[in-house]
Structure 1
């Protein structure tokens, strides 16, 4: 009986650990789809990563004035338009551009992530959907990154 209880405990713990790993993989994939969507102009990847109610904004520091400009907003539709422009203007990310995803925390329904991209650093909030997928709900960013 003790062996059976121990076995059930080990199996239960393994399943919980695998579920957490699965969430980690899904969050990472959503963030990589976000980066690759912008880098490659891939609207399908952006649609798989972004909530239709996306709230994204950031600040860009001018190389000339060394000052940050006004807040730059972007909606879900704006992200898709950006991807279209990448393709139509042949303005793809340079080879070797950073694509770093650092998960800061994952809970049952929410996750926070730091992403480093060619334009700068993004901090993201993701939400787990009813189907188990993760979507990026909010992003705040600044750029460019310091060299």
Structure 2
């Protein structure tokens, strides 16, 4: 019992010093949801709210003519423009789109989450800057990686 109590105190102290708050967890999840939901229903301000101005989004791609893999990259400005038009005709997502946010790691100022959407997976890094959580990196792929060719 004494050992359990000591472990509990050490764990509690560690969480108080280094852990995130419930508010942080909610803010991190909201940033990931803002990112995907601003594509479901076109909403550029919501996308902008989620992303750091220097965010970079990457994925692998295969060149059909050479068969070589390479990385494609996009930035915040492109994602904001995408959110304005991507699903304008309401034909890119099912009526009830999948959007599951899994926390992979959270520290005081950094976090990693996995967003599982309908056709793809996004791994996101977030940073807490001036008390606001922003997505700074995204690495994504289709569930069916054969779709990632040009």
The one-character-per-residue Cα deviations of 1:65-89 (angstroms, maximum 9, x if unpaired) are xx89643321101101111222555
State the match for 1:7 in structure 2.
Answer: none
CA distance in 2 between partners of 1:68 and 1:144 (Å): 20
Secondary structure in 2 matching 1:136 = strand
CA distance in 1 between partners of 2:50 and 2:56 (Å): 13
State the match for 1:3 in structure 2.
Answer: none
1:59 Cα offset (Å): 3.2
State the match for 2:98 in structure 1.
Answer: 98
State the match for 1:28 in structure 2.
Answer: 29
The one-character-per-residue Cα deviations of 1:7-57 (angstroms, maximum 9, x if unpaired) are xxxxx98xx499611110110011111110122121111111001101101
State the match for 2:51 in structure 1.
Answer: 50
State the match for 1:75 in structure 2.
Answer: 75
Unpaired segments ≥5 residues, structure 2: 1-11, 146-150
| C-alpha RMSD of matched pairs (Å) | 2.9
User: As a proportion of its length, which structure holds more strand?
Assistant: 2
Distance 1:40 1:145, change over 3 A: farther
After TM superposition, where is structure 1 displaced by more than 3 Å over at least 4 residues in a row? 16-19, 67-70, 87-92
Normalising by the residue count of structure 2, what TM-score does the alignment of the two structures yield?
0.73
**Residues 57 and 71 of structure 1 are in contact (CA less than 8 Å); yes or no, is this contact kept in structure 2?**
yes
Unpaired segments ≥5 residues, structure 1: 1-11, 62-66
Normalising by the residue count of structure 1, what TM-score does the alignment of the two structures yield?
0.74
Secondary structure in 1 matching 2:98 = coil
State the match for 2:38 in structure 1.
Answer: 37
